[in-house]
Amino acid sequence: MRTADIRSRFLDFFAARGHHVVPSAPLPTPDPTLLFVNAGMVPFKPYLTGEAPAPWPRATSVQKCVRTLDIEEVGRTTRHGSFFQMNGNFSFGDYFKEEAVAFAWELSTAPQADGGYGLDPGRIWVTVHHSDDEAAAIWRRVAGLPAERIVRRGDEDNFWSMGVPGPCGPCSELYYDRGPAYGREGGPAVDEDRYMEFWNLVFMQYERGEGAGKTGYPLLGELPRRNIDTGMGLERMATLLQGVDNLYEIDETRPVLDRAAELTGTRYGADHRSDVRLRVVADHVRTALMLLADGTAPGNEGRGYVLRRILRRAVRSVRLLGYEDPALRELLPAARDCMAHSYPEVAEDFDRISQQAYAEEDAFRSTLRQGTTVLDTAVAEVKADGGRLLPGAKAFLLHDTYGFPIDLTLEMAEEQGVEVDRDGFAALMAEQRERARADARARKSAGALDTSLLRPVLDAHGPTDWRAYDTLLTESRVLALLGPGGGPVRAVRSGEIATVVLDRTPFYAESGGQDSDAGRLTGASVEAEVLDVQRPLPGLVVHQVRVTAGELGVGDTVQAAVDAEWRLGARQAHSATHVLHAALRQVLGPGALQSGSYNRPGHLRLDFPWRGPLGPMARAEVEEAANRALRRDLPVDVRWMPLAEAKALGALALFGETYGERVRVVEIGGAWSRELCGGTHVDHASQVGVVALTAESSVGAGMRRLEAAVGFEGFGYLARERDLVARLAEQLQAPRDRLPERVSALLDRLKTADQQAADLRRRTAQAHAAELAASAADVHGTLLVTTVTDDDARALALAVRDRLPADRPGVAAIATTTSGRATLTIALNPRATTAGLSAATLVKSALSGRGGGTAEVAQGGGIPAEELGAALNGLKGLLARE
């Protein structure tokens, strides 16, 4: 049975039993503490924790998930995969243990002809929590399982919580006995390779308190509404039903592995090392495909860095298998063909996906070349000093600066007869991880409100009456205040900054790339400036305000007023973003899909996948297409409709956003621009005024960013450009249309003057070099030249070295000083290196370790200028000892 069929069969089964089918949420999550969805229950978390009422009593989904905490284990074992799919059925205060067990047993064991999976009931084992007599009894009653196949286990295995105070409960896991070929008898407590877990049923029935670990917390009592959260591993079930050994051999993964084996001339199963690399390729190419499909772009931070690392590990693994050519062009289409049965968007959007992936591979191949050069130089230095251990700091530099994986460094160093200081590297990596964790903790504490303090407000008063689409002014009541210290307060005074919850508000909360509104709260005895507006919980809008006069208290009635000019600017910028996006697609083609945006009054930026700069002509075409749309005064129409209808209309969705059953569609000129959007917009395109492109830049491999000034600010930008051209024309005494020619002529003259000056400096240096070489001092048979210069120290050192007699060891040490610090360059002639001298060693010795290079040429610096004389004199002592 194909994996896609296992997936659809699961959804059909639960839909027939009253479950609402919920589409998979995108892999990127809006949760700042979580990069990607890593479990099937993540999209349902607000309903399971009580943060928001569930829209349905029961639901089912097949959720895409990515886990990268154990990415180094991918391929080493056959259990670990970074991308996986979790089939789940959920009950929100509806059914509980008996029905959950019955559903799982029926679907697992019913014949395939009747819509089940047809597993042999005699080979299914289950585990329950040691205290859960109820679950054990249900398994005996519903499934007829004998006691010996119902295994009781402890908290570590069969009790679930989210790691924080909130819902928790026992769980029951289903295992399938794959037979003696896979391990020992005795059930899952003895061998979890033979007995493969394929389904976990979580019974959320308790509330847990504070505490660490899986057992260090109290149970506070029963939940008022008990929930069911189950997860069946789709890849695990495919492994069982397709009769293969592991998840790398199922139909959605094996074709990628086979294509990698074909490219590299490797046979899967021949040796462990090659098998690991083939599995890494198969997993990572599929994972990258799905992340790119959901709008993640390679980058240097957060989600982008995870994707970049996954792509580079795949490329590197193919390289280590002996394939030197670009590999993703062969492998990514194989992954697309595997996944398109379940996710048609990977085929529909493959042009954009592949463009980004191939650009990243090209960039990494260039990085590999640079890193290889750095590594070769470092290995040469180690050998020149008589060592055999590459410092951990050098391996870390290769990893951190050049993106060089440590295992590649280890292998290449080994090929050259050098080991790597792995302990030193590990220590530096640990320091970096701790800095990253500390930074994440700081961002979490600084950038996120304590939702536990706001949830009672939502529970007591319900969702905020949000009027941002309808009005700029409401009469509102203060429901709650969080003071400057973050905790609840009854009142805040002039000069203090506080978080305010109102019963109703006209303020737009930051979302969908649009900045939040600005404005004021005004009461009988208070004035406050609104600084920021957010939605920390579904349905709850909160305002960060600065009290400018009087006192604001809980229960006060205030007028909440949006700054009308600010909102107009925001509407212009957001509509301009849609217009620019449509213009990009009109000029560049459908592959130029928005991958992120930000807009505020007067300004917008828009990211989109593209290889290389647009160029002046393409930029001009895009800008003209956008402004022609504004001149035509295209109508702006906003409609609510079912998600399926919006998709049928071809409405574009922003990558990474999660949409409900009903969506808001914004059209500008009908089908010309049709997007799902929750932002505020103008009524007619002409109200935008003008879109003036101000910048285009790279924001990662295969990703470009356009920035533009909009509306009044756009006119201001064009006016400043006009004035600048006028001043240049006046200063250069040229008509405006001749300015490019005049500037080009001036640049040519400057280039010629620079070349002449460089030639003069070179001749002067050569003459100076001859004089310095003639004045070389004899230090125990080695000719030594030392001097301080204002010229190019490296060029002068090389020139002096080349003029020293070839039959005697020669050392040229040339120093410069800048801003009170000194730099030293040392160059050796061939006779000196043959005699065993090393420029790198001399620089490090003279400057107390500050410097590096090769045996022939090295440079270092950073010492105070007043210490330079001693350093140069110290060279004589070093040569004397030699």
Give the per-residue SS3 of 746-814: HHHHHHHHHHHHHHHHHHHHHHHHHHHHHCCEEECCEEEEEEECCCCHHHHHHHHHHHCCCCCCEEEEE
* pLDDT at 440 exceeding the cut of 70: no
pLDDT tens-place string over residues 16-36: 999 999 999 899 887 666 789
Residues forming beta bridges with residue 864, ordered by sequence position: 821
- The mean pLDDT value for 625-646 works out to 92
- The mean pLDDT value for 281-305 works out to 88
* pLDDT at 636 exceeding the cut of 90: yes
Per-residue pLDDT, 680: 95
Give me the CATH code for the 3-249 domain, please. 3.30.930.10
Per-residue pLDDT, 445: 44
Per-residue pLDDT, 657: 59
Give me the CATH code for the 451-555 domain, please. 2.40.30
* pLDDT at 377 exceeding the cut of 50: yes
Tell me which residue has tokens 């205030």. Answer: 558
- Decide: 372 and 416 in contact? Cβ < 8 Å: no
Residue 506's SS3 state is coil
Domain ranges of the chain: 3-249, 254-444, 451-555, 567-725, 759-881
Tell me which residue has tokens 């790691």. Answer: 163
Nearest one of 728, 876, 743 to 811, comparing CA atoms: 876
Per-residue pLDDT, 301: 72
Domain 759-881 has CATH 3.40.50.300: no
Could you tell me the CA-to-CA distances from 38 to 66, 293, 317, 501, 556 in Å, in that order?
5, 17, 25, 32, 43
* pLDDT at 871 exceeding the cut of 70: yes
Average pLDDT score, the chain: 88
* pLDDT at 517 exceeding the cut of 90: yes
* pLDDT at 735 exceeding the cut of 60: yes
- The mean pLDDT value for 382-393 works out to 84
Cβ neighbours of 836 (radius 10 Å): 12
Cβ-proximal residues to 263 (8 Å cutoff; 6+ apart), any chain? 318, 323, 327, 330, 331
Flag the least confident range among 206-220, 371-385, 450-464, 805-819. 206-220
Report the distance separating Cα 613 and Cα 698, nearest Å: 8
Per-residue pLDDT, 447: 46
The annotated binding site for Zn(2+) is made up of: 574, 578, 677, 681
Long-range CB contacts (within 8 A, 24+) of 213-217: 214/155, 214/156, 214/159, 214/161, 215/155, 215/156, 217/161, 217/165
Confidence of residue 649 (pLDDT cuts 50, 70, 90): confident
The annotated binding site is made up of: 574, 578, 677, 681
Long-range CB contacts (within 8 A, 24+) of 213-218: 214/155, 214/156, 214/159, 214/161, 215/155, 215/156, 217/161, 217/165
Confidence of residue 441 (pLDDT cuts 50, 70, 90): very low
Report the distance separating Cα 221 and Cα 209, nearest Å: 10
- Decide: 91 and 58 in contact? Cβ < 8 Å: yes
- The mean pLDDT value for 821-825 works out to 89
Confidence of residue 438 (pLDDT cuts 50, 70, 90): low
Euclidean distance between the first and final Cα of the chain, in Å?
Answer: 76
Alpha-carbon torsion (400, 401, 405, 406), positive or negative: negative
Confidence of residue 552 (pLDDT cuts 50, 70, 90): very high
Flag the least confident range among 317-321, 696-700, 779-783. 696-700
Per-residue pLDDT, 598: 93
Report the distance separating Cα 444 and Cα 448, nearest Å: 6
Per-residue pLDDT, 619: 92
Report the distance separating Cα 331 and Cα 277, nearest Å: 14
Confidence of residue 740 (pLDDT cuts 50, 70, 90): confident
Q: Which tokens sit at 835?
A: 């005699």
Report the distance separating Cα 199 and Cα 194, nearest Å: 15
Per-residue pLDDT, 575: 96
- Decide: 661 and 643 in contact? Cβ < 8 Å: yes
Per-residue pLDDT, 145: 95
Report the distance separating Cα 740 and Cα 746, nearest Å: 10
- The mean pLDDT value for 517-521 works out to 94
pLDDT tens-place string over residues 347-367: 988 988 998 899 889 888 887
Which is higher by pLDDT, 684 or 651?
A: 684
Per-residue pLDDT, 448: 55
From the centroid of its chain, how far is CA 860?
A: 37
Confidence of residue 443 (pLDDT cuts 50, 70, 90): very low
Flag the least confident range among 306-315, 368-377, 530-539. 368-377
Confidence of residue 444 (pLDDT cuts 50, 70, 90): very low
Side-chain-facing half-sphere of 62: CA atoms under 13 Å: 22
- The mean pLDDT value for 59-83 works out to 81
Q: Among residues of the chain, what percentage have pLDDT more than 90?
A: 52
pLDDT tens-place string over residues 219-244: 888 888 899 999 999 999 999 999 99
Flag the least confident range among 338-347, 383-392, 526-535, 833-842. 383-392
Per-residue pLDDT, 434: 64
* pLDDT at 278 exceeding the cut of 50: yes
What predicted TM-score, i.e. pTM, was given to this entire model?
0.66
Give me the CATH code for the 567-725 domain, please. 3.30.980.10
Alpha-carbon torsion (143, 149, 152, 158), positive or negative: negative
